[in-house]
Structure 1
Amino acid sequence: MPEDTILSTSGLTKEFAGFTAVNGVDLKVRRGSIHALIGPNGAGKTTCFNLLTKFLAPTRGTILYNGRDITREKPAEIARLGLVRSFQISAVFPQLSVLTNVRIALQRKRGDNFDFWRSERTLKSLDEDARRLVEAVGLSSFQALTAGELSYGRKRALEIATTLALDPEMLLLDEPMAGMGREDVERIEALIRKVSKDRTILMVEHNLSVVASLSDRITVLARGQVLAEGDYAAVSKDPRVVEAYIGSGGGHGHH
């Protein structure tokens, strides 16, 4: 396995009753890159993502992370190894403040139990780290608000902050821009670019203009198989990709 590959799959397959959702996918994600998984609706992107993050067990095939076989590992175990998924499972507590949400995520990373109140010093250092993360995602002026009071795009920024609190080596983003207006999309796009500086990102994303501007490499899935791979310029010109998107009525879901 080449040094610079952080995550790879070989022959990754998921069959549901009478239906193959993911069919023999070989994926290689280069360390330090932003890699996008795209494709029309029903292409198997979400299933593929769920296999990588261990929410589903593959029917066949293997998944390697940093050269280690994680095919049978549990989600909590791969999170400990540094492979962390954001958004759909992030625990953001709507009734707690932005800062408190980030601090709780930092405590989880440390595996602290909740008698942390005892040590004033621990609390102070957690607060400093939490403030730094809140600032990193552009939420400093909102840190006293409860998470529930934030706009949709800013909630997403908070979710990224709580994910970064776990200090992932590789971040998996499931449709980070879904349901966002243009201003929010631009803000989250800038945020993803910023947090990608010292980590690897794999994202499923419908918004192709985001994919075009953010991704180093793109894997296009159609009917559960890899249709094409390369940078945006290459895959967007590939006649099979054009056909797959047009043939499925655009396949942009909500865009």
Structure 2
Amino acid sequence: MILGDTILETRDLTKQFKGFTAVNGVNLRVCRGSIHALIGPNGAGKTTCFNLLTKFLVPSAGRIVFNGIDITHERPAQIARRGIIRSFQISAVFAHLTALQNVRVGLQRSLGTAYHFWKSDRTLAELNDRAMDLLTQVGLTDFADVPTVELAYGRKRALEIATTLAMEPELMLLDEPTQGMGHEDVDRVTALIKKVSSGRTILMVEHNMNVIAGISDTITVLQRGEVLAEGSYAEVSKNPLVAEAYMGSADAALTGAHA
């Protein structure tokens, strides 16, 4: 892996909805091997940006380039095959499958057998070793046979990251990975994100400034659909425009105003 070169870039990315411009000329550059955070006040355009990058929305203007290839007009399935995998804000796992079975579904997708649910357990057992390895990576070894519906919220999010990893992402997009969590779960999932970032790139939307400060290499701040500031946490946190955007005070910007 060549650290520092650009894995994902947007050029004048724009999205309009019936005259309302949600994303306006955003130029984003994500470096390979980095953890890049996208933050901003409510309505800043963060989720719209994510939806454009994963092709759940079609840009009104601008370009999206991944590994030097223009992917602006590709479909979500094509994007996923290129290695851009999104973990959703709301835990996206099968509630009545066990943790092991959930990860195995992710592995089936990566093998192109995503819908072979009728296959016998014996046939699918070859995926178990890899699935257990992924559960171990996210600290869920002891919960392999537990139905997902019985897992605590933080562990469901850890499971979601495991299923995302099963897709072998080159670029992981994490949408509010610590939303709704207590302090202990936030710390666990933050450490997990840092751990799984080894060997891959992460772009995440996150509202918790403590999380952002602890693991982000680069932060892009959006306001009203435009890039307001960009840099390290130390740089961004001292920017008076960022402080003003977060409810008019530097304290609000630094202590976790909701983004």
TM norm structure 2: 0.92
**Matched residues, percent identical?**
63
Partner amino acid, structure 2, of 1:192: I
Instruction: Tell me the secondary structure at the aligned position of residue 186 of structure 1.
Output: helix
Tell me which amino acid in the other structure corresponds to 2:157. R
| SS of 1:246 mapped into structure 2 | coil
Cα distance change, pair 250–142 in 1 and its aligned pair in 2 (3 A): same
Give the corresponding residue for 2:216: 215
Aligned residues: 253
Residue correspondence of structure 1 range 55-204 to structure 2 within 5 A: 55-88=56-89, 91-112=92-113, 114=116, 117=119, 120=122, 123-204=124-205
What is the Cα deviation at residue 254 of structure 1?
5.3
Structure-2 separation of matches of 1:124 and 1:174: 31
Do 2:221 and 2:230's aligned partners in 1 also have CA atoms closer than 8 Å? yes
Q: Distance in 2 between matches of 1:89 and 1:239?
A: 33
**CA distance 1:156–1:32, change in 2 (3 Å):** same
Alpha-carbon contact 1:90-1:162 (below 8 Å) kept? no
TM-score of the superposed pair, with normalisation by structure 1: 0.93
Q: Distance in 1 between matches of 2:202 and 2:41?
A: 21
* Alpha-carbon contact 2:89-2:177 (below 8 Å) kept: no
Q: Distance in 2 between matches of 1:76 and 1:224?
A: 26
Q: Is the 8 A contact 2:38 2:221 kept in 1?
A: yes
Matched residues in 2 for 1:149 and 1:38: separation?
32
How much has 1:188 moved relative to structure 2? 0.4
What are the ranges of 5 or more consecutive residues in structure 1 without an aligned counterpart?
A: none
Q: Any conservation in 2 of the 1:7–1:30 contact (CA below 8 Å)?
A: yes
- Seen in structure 2, the aligned counterparts of structure 1 residues 140 and 243 have a Cα distance that, compared at 3 Å, is same
CA distance in 2, matches of 1:93, 1:228: 38
2: distance between equivalents of 1:118 and 1:244? 55
Deviations 1:130-165 (A, max 9, x none): 110111110011111101111110000010011100
What runs of 5+ residues in structure 2 fail to find an aligned partner? none
Partner of 1:36: 37
Residue in 2 that maps onto 1:21: 22
How much has 1:25 moved relative to structure 2? Answer: 0.4
Amino acid at match of 1:55: F
Letter in 2 for 1:212: A
SS at match of 2:179: coil
- With 240-249 and 201-210 compared, the bigger mean Cα shift is at 240-249
Tell me the distance in 1 between the aligned counterparts of 2:34 and 2:175: 16
1:241 — aligned with what?
242
Counterpart contact for 1:172–1:202, Cα < 8 Å = yes
Cα distance in 2, alignment partners of residues 124 and 234 from structure 1: 49
In 2, the alpha carbon distance for the partners of 1:254 and 1:228 equals 17
CA contact (8 A) 2:42 2:258 kept: no
Letter in 2 for 1:140: T
RMSD: 2.1
Q: Tell me, in whole angstroms, the C-alpha distance in 2 between the residues paired with 1:22 and 1:123.
A: 43
Contact 1:40 1:250 in 2 (8 A): no
Report deviation, 1:247: 3.5
* Counterpart contact for 1:236–1:242, Cα < 8 Å: yes
Corresponding letter in the other structure for 1:114: H
Distance 1:47 1:220 in 2: 14
